[in-house]
Amino acid sequence: MLSKEEVLRIAKLARIELGEADVEKFQKNLSTVLEYVEALKSVDTSGLEEVSQVTGLINVQREDRAILAQNREEILGQAPEIKDGYFKVKAIL
Amino acid sequence: MTNSAYKPVIGFEIHVQLATKAKMFSPAPNNPDETVPNTNIDEIVTGQPGTLPVANKEAIRLAAMVGLALNCTIDEFSKFDRKHYFYPDLPKGYQISQYDQPIAKKGYLDIEVNGKTKRIGITRAHLEEDAGKNVHPEGLPYSLVDYNRAGAPLLEIVTEPDIESAEEGRIFLQELRNIIRYLGASSADMEKGTMRCEPNISVRKPGETTLPKYKVEVKNINSFKFAEAAINFEIARHTEMLEKGETPRQVTMGWNEKNNCTVEQRSKEDAQDYRYMPDPDLPVLQFPQEYLDELRNRMPELPAQKRIRFLEEYKLPLADVENLINWKELAFYFEDVVSELDEWRSQENGLNREQLIKMAANWCLQDFSALLNQDLKNPLDSQVGPENFAELVKLIVQGKISGSAAKTVFRTMYEKGGDPSEIVEDMGLTQVSDEGAIAGAIEKVIAENPKAVADYKAGQQKSFGFLVGQCMKELKGKGNPQVINDLLRKKLS
Amino acid sequence: MEFLHLTELRKKLDSREISSSELAKYFLARIKKLEPQLKAFVTVTEEAALKDAQEADEFIGSPGENPFLCGIPYVSKDLFATRGIRTTASSKILDEYKPPFDATVTRKLKEQKSVLLGKTNLDEFAHGSSTETSAYGPSHNPWDTSRIPGGSSGGSAAAVAGGLSPWATATETGGSIRQPSSLCGVSGWKPTYGRVSRYGVIAMASSLDSPGAIAHSVEDLAHLAEIMAGQDEKDSTTGHVPVPQYSRNLTADIKGLKIGIPKEYFLDGMEEGIKQRVMEAVKELEKMGAKTVEVALPNTKFGSLVYAIVAPSEISSNLMRYDGIRYGHTVPAAADLLEVYEKSRAEGFGDEAKRRIMTGTYVLSAGYYDAYYKKAQKVRRLIVNEFAEAFKQVDLLVCPSSPNVAIKLGSAKDNPLFGYIADQLNIPGSLAGLPALSVPCGYARPADNDTPSMDGLPVGLQIIGPQWGEQQVFNAGFAYQQATDWHKQHPSLE
């Protein structure tokens, strides 16, 4: 089973606050998933290239043309807090 | 500065903001000069749910061009990866970058250090998107985020630790900047932040071949001068520590411009784990041979080639050549002036090309540079076109105006524009080279200044100068000094 | 009226037998009446719908001139960005989010002058196969409201099956269209990956996400595919293959069509009724002249395992952006920036999303990448290759869409593997980016036998085609629906 420290390390990386009970739950859940996928390790994949795209597309690119979007206010309107046209956040140390 | 007991080992990480019209993965404008916060944003730049990146073709072309200019290998395939971390200026929580298949790798750049060629290895150059900017109002418990820069195309260039002094570092950066500017890939302006450099510095005993166990990265450097100063500061600091038997810690320092020193930056709480993965939103990049051949064919003359040509063809002194090369726009302007002068020469025989070129270079590097620097302008933004510039040089060489009159004319050309011949005429600055008129003035001056004449004849050279001055005054400053000199000397001998 | 096909609605609108406004009002009234039972919606957009319907009525011209969807109501899975209209992904973290832009699919439907009735419920961020992970509670299966509608497009499937909308947008990552379509007895189209633009569809797992549709007939789906599909300059992963005129090309003539029956898709523990209904459907296809042959896809068993690594990895990456700064749920009382992140995400995401974020973060983290993610993507290659080989021998594959009929609400609770098992017949095709349909093919008693539904619950027939092979998938489905009337049977909710 995944250790408590390991779960906390992952939670920190993922920036999710966990309570005591959560830690235990995730120890179990993650371990279940990792056991479930264990069988993959024995599959012979020598000489196989990993898939990251199934479309086979290459060089899909956009011409360099600038478009000034017309939805600035809508975008800013979604933010929890705006100050002088900036997104406001707690002080970045 | 460098203590002889230790030798510096320096490598650079350089970020260059590419000069595209739109951003790396969205059509939002890429404008480093935008001052109103969050103007160049759209749903993609701000990472709204469901938005997707589409790569900018021009940014990829520029990156490949820089790679070729740095003698790098461009592999047939390249891809984009996601680099994950949380920071308010990073809208998606990951930066689209390139991890294990950068566009360019294994290149080099040759630089000239004290007359010797030094080869600096280029490890790799990869494309990524820039982050936004965080503003920290002093003394307040909050920060402000501006995404204008977010998503701008960045080329990150990483060198081998081949640099051995601050001076080498500066020369390398200058040469790199020149190449990037000559390619039109970026304004590569350290002050504006379109070129940012982070040196990695450590020192070791001479003769040691393994890399030191630590290195210190310095951030927040925004000029070549500061780069040099920061490197020297770090070398001294490391040397001092090592001599005391301490080992410098592997930290990130920031250059403090006010106090001329580096200051340790708050170290990140936990070791970064970026969880790189190939970006499934972006198909792979392929660089067919024909594409690369086409780029090579279109490669402009690079600063190193131009430098050699200026030295060999124009026979200019090295210092002048460097000054011209380091200002791309001026170098190009200068060549336009030269071609104007060449055209003129082809019509009128007997002119000395080298002399014309020399004079054109001097005017470019002195009066013109001074005025342009004062106004923070580039030559082509000024009112002086290369044709008029060449015309002025011609007037000087032909003796139609004096050097001091030329300065007045040039200033007028710079301020108001116009043809120098017309300005000379309008301002009545035509130089008197007519021997008859000058001889008349000389007669008069000799008659009016018998003492000075006697003194000169008695051997006092400085009286000659006085008499020339009097003649010039008589001619209202428009006399050709060379002709006055010659005639006066003849008359008094 | 509530179960009319799009083709029929088009005729009625064109002939002015009915107006768009009347249609919108009719469906809105039905939503009002049945929503308490089905809970298919996150948001009902009544006002905008009536306005759009009125505009459509003003626009409708002579028959033949009108866009196919003009004036026809629809509902959209709450994963498609709708400008200015709340789009939540059924997550608390986007509870009040109003996108500043339209998804490409939304834009295309607007251009058709479609009438949006509302946004349908889903598993939070599409993480699930039952809609039970939705922050707004589960939707209910119209055939038996004590049961799940399937998921993640459960709200869309329930809305169409219950006659609350003539059709619905939906999305698949690994079964999220086929499985709920199967469980709710409706027709669902899971497109070839890259056939329909993902732009503006809130991402789950980017290499798998395929926006599609749920409707009452394959013919309707062929029409919808024509409208929704196509290369999009805003989605670099959309294919450059031209979009055929699927509806015009539809044919029920499937004589000589070679159909593969993958034996691995008839699992040991599978409900007997499902096997029977699907084999009966295969007989039906044979009667129409199709030739069937058993094929072996031995790597099928690895599909869900690969998916259990690849999907959470991409999910953990795609959910990084929810940080409480630019949009979405935030905790203003946090002490510092770190707390803003950790608390906003802890409060905003539900258990299943957290589970997948944690799994993905783990397998991508330093030291594990090669053993998990890279390995999984290599096994994925085996699966892709295996399908490619199979399609050298056969034109289509036919199998069940789900190993079971709808299960009781709550019975999958806290099983972290539920989705991977529920979708094991869908996932391999998703990993290879293949197009597929699920069409109703009869009923089967659930394993628990506890349902008021007389004949049992709907069973779905799955038809899988080769990459970009939508047309032959549609043709087979169309032929089957010409010969059968399962798709014309509806639950009684009155």
**Does A20 map to a domain?**
yes
Q: Does A60 touch chain C (CB under 8 A)?
A: yes
The answer to whether residue A51 neighbours chain B at the CB level (below 8 Å) is: no
Residue A17 belongs to what domain range?
1-41
Is residue B2 included in any domain, yes or no?
no
Does residue C175 form part of some domain?
A: yes
pTM, full prediction: 0.92
How are beta strands C436-444 and C457-464 bridged, if at all? antiparallel
Beta bridge pairs of residue B142: A90
Question: Cα separation of B186 and B153, whole Å?
Answer: 10
pLDDT at B392: 92
Query: Does residue B15 belong to any structural domain of this protein?
Result: yes
Cα distance from B15 to chain A (closest Cα, Å)? 20
- Residues of chain C with pLDDT > 70, as a percent, come to 100
C181 inside domain? yes
Is residue A2 domain-resident? yes
- Assess contact for C320 and B65: CB atoms under 8 A: no
Helices (H), C321-426: 337-348, 351-364, 375-393, 418-422
B450-454: list long-range contacts, CB under 8 Å, 24+ apart. B453/B492
For B265-297, give the DSSP string. PPPPSS------EE-TTSPBEE--HHHHHHHHH
In a domain, A8, yes or no: yes
Dihedral pair phi/psi, residue B22, rounded to 5°: -115, 175
| Shared-domain flag, residues B372 and B276 | no
Q: Which of B426, B446, B467 is the endpoint of a domain?
A: B426
> What percentage of chain B reaches a pLDDT higher than 70?
98
Q: Best-predicted range by mean pLDDT among B347-351, C240-244, C408-412?
A: C240-244
Question: Rounded to 5 degrees, what angle do the CA atoms C281, C282, C286 make?
Answer: 115
CATH number at residue A22: 1.10.20
Please report the number of interchain residue pairs, chain B to chain C, with beta-carbon separation below 8 angstroms.
101
pLDDT of amino acid B486: 86
Quote the number of domains for chain C. 1
pLDDT in tens, B97-129: 999 999 999 999 999 999 899 999 999 999 999
pLDDT in tens, C314-345: 999 999 999 999 999 999 889 999 999 999 99
CA C470 vs CA B394, C63, C190, C265: distances in Å: 76, 28, 9, 21
pLDDT band of residue B1 (cuts 50, 70, 90) is very low
* C342 in a structural domain: no
For residues B315 and B462, state if they share a domain: no
Domain of residue C14, CATH code: 3.90.1300.10
Number of other CB atoms surrounding residue B295 within 10 Å: 18
Q: What mean pLDDT, rounded, does chain B reach? A: 92
Write out residues in chain A with pLDDT < 50, as ranges: none
Q: B244 and B117, same structural domain?
A: yes
User: How many structural domains comprise chain A?
Assistant: 1
Q: Output the DSSP codes for B174-191.
A: HHHHHHHHHTTS----TT
Supply A60's token pair.
Answer: 């899909």
Window 103-142 of B: residues touching A by CB (8 A cutoff) are 134-136, 140-142
Q: Please name the helix (run of DSSP H) or strand (run of DSSP E) that holds residue B157, with its range, or none.
A: strand B153-159
Do B286 and B307 sit in the same domain of this protein?
Answer: no
Please list the residues that pair with B286 across neighbouring strands.
B77
Closest-CA residue of B relative to A92 is: B143
Contact between A75 and B48 using a beta-carbon 8 Å cutoff? yes
Tell me chain B's radius of gyration from C-alpha atoms.
29
CA distance C151 to C130: 4
A90 touches chain C (CB under 8 A): yes
Q: Is the pLDDT of residue B26 over 90?
A: yes
Number of domains in chain B: 3
Q: Is residue B1 part of a domain?
A: no
Q: Under a CB-based contact definition with an 8 Å cutoff, are residues C400 and C266 in contact?
A: yes
Q: Does residue B118 share a domain with residue B18? A: yes
Q: Does residue B14 carry a pLDDT above 90?
A: yes
Q: Does a structural domain hold residue B244?
A: yes
Indicate whether B358 and B446 sit together in one domain: no
Query: How long a stretch of residues is chain C?
Result: 494
Check whether C364 has a pLDDT greater than 60. Answer: yes
pLDDT in tens, C118-175: 999 999 999 999 999 999 999 999 999 999 999 999 999 999 999 999 999 999 999 9
| Percentage of chain C lying above the pLDDT 90 cut | 92
Calpha distance B94→C314 (Å, rounded): 12
B395 and B448 co-located in one domain? no
CB B106 within 8 A of CB B71: no
Both tokens assigned to B194: 């379109």
Digit-coded pLDDT (tens) for B157-181: 999 999 999 999 999 999 999 999 9
Q: What is the 3-state composition of chain B as percent helix, strand, coil, each rounded to the nearest 5? A: 40, 20, 40
Which domain range does residue B316 map to? 303-426
Residue C341 near chain B (CB below 8 Å): yes
In the block, which residue shows the tokens 């789009």?
A: C87
Q: Tell me the average pLDDT across C380-390.
A: 97
pLDDT in tens, B382-413: 999 999 999 999 888 887 887 778 888 899 89
| Rounded Cα–Cα distance for residues A71 and C394 (Å) | 49
Chain A contact for B50, CB < 8 A?
A: no
Within a domain: residue A66?
Answer: no
Q: Which residues, listed in sequence order, are joined to residue B125 by a DSSP beta bridge?
A: B104, B157
Domain assignment of residue C63, yes or no = yes
- B209's CB contacts (< 8 A; 6+ apart) are none
Is it the case that residue B2 has pLDDT exceeding 60? no
Residue B270 has pLDDT above 60, yes or no: no
pLDDT in tens, C21-54: 999 999 999 999 999 999 999 999 999 999 999 9
Task: Give the residue numbers spanning the domain of C241.
Answer: 6-257
Q: Residues B197-244: pLDDT tens digits? A: 999 999 999 888 899 999 999 998 999 999 999 999 999 999 999 999
Cα gap C180→C419, rounded to integer Å: 12
Nearest-by-CA chain A residue for C335 = A90
**In a domain? residue A52:** no
Rounded Cα–Cα distance for residues C96 and C180 (Å): 27
Determine, for residues B281 and C101 on separate chains, whether the beta-carbon distance falls below 8 Å: no
